C-alpha cells in the first residue's frame, strides 16, 4: 500500500497545507485501484498535482462530517461524472453523509453518470473482499467520527516446487491446487497434501487511519499492532487541554498511543494553521521524544506501508 497525503491542515488551509485528504493506492492488480480517506475542500485540485485520476477512485471513506474533511466531496463527485467515467463509486461514512451528498447534488442541479452507492456506517465491519478488510472504530469528537483499520489478508506461502519435482510431481495444473493448500491424488495413487509443501504465510499489512479525536479507549484497539498509524496532532503538548476540549489530540498524546499500541511507524497530520515551519518541527520533535519512528506529513508526501 502507498499513501499520498493530499491535505494535512486542520480547520482551514494554509499556503502550504490543504484540507484533510489521504489517497491510498492499494497496489493490487486484481483489487480496487484507489481509495480516498476524507475529502476536504479542493481535494480534486490536489489530485491534479498527482499521477492519479478521479476515475480510478473506487471507494471514499469519510471519517466525519466536519467541513474540513467533507466540503471537497460534491465537486469531486461531479467532476468525476463530467469526465465520462462509468466506473461505480462507493462512499462510506457516518449517518448524514447520504443527506449531505444528495442535497448538494439536488440543489445544484447536478448528478452522477456512474453508479454511486452511499453506505452510512456504524462501528464494526465496513467492507471486505478477497484482499482487504476494513473496520470502523468510534472516536471521541463533537460529531460522530470514525477511524478506519485496513487489514490486508495474509498471503499464502510459497510452493516448494523443487521438493515436488523430487517427488515426481510435474509442474502444471496440480501445482495450482497444491498452491491453495489442497490435497491432490497423483496418477500412481499417492495423495500429496499441498500444506506440506508451502512455506509460512506472509502476514498482510495493517494500516490505521484516524479521524479527529481526543484520547479514547477505542483508539488502542484501532491501532493495535498496525504497520502504520496515521493520527491527527492538531496542537502541541502544552495545549493538550484545549485540544481535548475540542475533540483533538496533542503531540505527546498521539505518540504515547503509538507506543502503547505497538505500531511500526506513526505519521502525524491535521496540523493547526497556527504553526509555521519552525512550529511544525517542534511538533515533530515532541512526538519523537516519545515515539522515534514518527513522521510529520506534508502535502503530497508519499508513504509506503
pLDDT, tens digit, 9 for 90 and up, residues 98-131: 999 999 999 999 999 999 999 999 999 999 998 9
Give the three-state DSSP class for 208. strand
The whole-angstrom separation of Cα 8 and Cα 269 is: 5
The cell for 201 is 504465510
- pLDDT at site 199: 87
Q: How far apart are CA 3 and CA 68, in angstroms?
A: 19
Cα–Cα nearest to 258, from 210, 194, 193, 196: 210
267-303 burial: b if 16+ Cβ within 10 Å, else e: bbbbbbeebeeeebeebbebbbebbebbbbbebeeeb
Q: In whole angstroms, what is the distance from residue 7 CA to residue 255 CA?
A: 21
Higher pLDDT, 86 or 144: 144
Q: Active site includes 188?
A: no
Among candidate residues 68, 113, 276, 299, the one labeled active-site is 68
114, 161 Cβ separation under 8 angstroms: no
Q: Structure pTM?
A: 0.92
The answer to whether the CB of 229 falls within 8 A of the CB of 268 is no
- Please give the backbone phi and psi of residue 213, each rounded to the nearest 5 degrees, phi first: -165, 145
- Cα angle for residues 263, 269, 271 (degrees, 5° grid): 140
The whole-number pLDDT of residue 57 equals 94
Report the side by side order of strands in the sheet with 206-209.
124-128, 132-138, 146-152, 206-209, 228-232, 265-269, 294-296
Q: What is the pLDDT of residues 264-300, one digit of tens each?
A: 999 999 999 999 999 999 999 999 999 999 999 999 9
- Measured CA to CA, the distance from residue 17 to residue 297 in angstroms comes to 10
The answer to whether the beta carbons of residues 22 and 48 sit under 8 Å apart is: no
Residue 31 has pLDDT above 70, yes or no: no
Annotated domain spans of the chain? 2-155+202-304, 161-193
CATH class (in words) of the domain with range 2-155+202-304 = alpha beta
Amino acid at each position: 500500500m502507498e499513501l499520498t497525503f493530499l491535505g494535512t491542515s486542520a480547520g482551514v488551509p494554509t499556503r502550504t497545507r490543504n484540507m484533510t485528504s489521504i489517497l491510498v493506492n492499494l497496489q493490487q492488480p486484481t483489487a480496487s485501484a484507489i481509495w480516498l480517506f476524507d475529502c476536504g475542500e479542493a481535494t480534486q485540485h490536489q489530485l491534479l498535482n498527482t499521477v492519479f485520476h478521479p476515475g480510478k477512485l473506487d471507494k471514499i471513506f469519510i471519517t466525519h462530517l466536519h467541513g474540513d474533511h467533507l466540503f471537497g466531496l460534491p465537486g469531486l463527485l461531479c467532476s468525476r461524472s463530467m469526465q465520462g467515467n462509468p466506473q461505480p463509486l462507493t462512499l462510506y461514512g457516518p449517518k448524514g453523509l447520504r443527506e449531505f451528498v444528495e442535497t448538494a447534488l439536488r440543489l445544484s442541479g447536478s448528478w452522477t453518470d456512474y453508479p454511486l452507492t452511499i453506505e452510512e456506517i456504524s462501528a464494526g465491519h465496513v467492507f471486505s473482499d478477497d484482499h482487504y478488510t476494513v473496520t470502523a472504530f468510534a472516536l471521541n469528537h463533537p460529531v460522530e467520527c470514525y477511524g478506519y483499520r485496513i487489514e490486508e489478508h495474509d498471503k499464502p506461502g510459497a510452493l516448494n516446487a523443487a521438493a515436488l519435482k523430487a517427488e515426481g510431481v510435474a509442474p502444471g495444473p496440480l501445482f495450482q491446487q497444491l498452491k491453495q493448500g489442497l490435497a491432490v491424488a497423483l496418477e500412481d495413487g499417492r495423495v500429496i497434501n499441498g500444506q506440506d509443501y508451502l512455506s509460512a504465510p506472509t502476514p498482510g499489512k495493517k494500516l490505521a487511519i484516524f479521524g479527529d479525536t481526543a484520547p479514547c479507549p477505542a483508539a488502542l484497539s484501532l491501532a493495535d499492532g498496525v504497520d502504520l498509524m496515521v493520527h491527527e496532532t492538531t496542537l502541541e503538548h502544552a495545549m493538550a487541554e484545549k485540544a481535548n476540549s475540542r475533540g483533538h489530540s496533542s503531540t505527546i498524546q498521539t505518540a504515547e498511543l503509538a507506543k502503547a499500541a505497538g505500531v511500526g511507524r506513526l505519521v502525524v497530520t491535521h496540523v493547526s494553521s497556527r504553526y509555521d515551519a519552525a512550529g511544525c518541527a517542534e511538533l515533530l520533535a515532541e512526538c519523537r521524544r516519545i515515539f522515534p519512528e514518527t513522521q510529520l506529513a506534508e502535502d503530497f508526501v508519499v508513504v509506503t506501508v
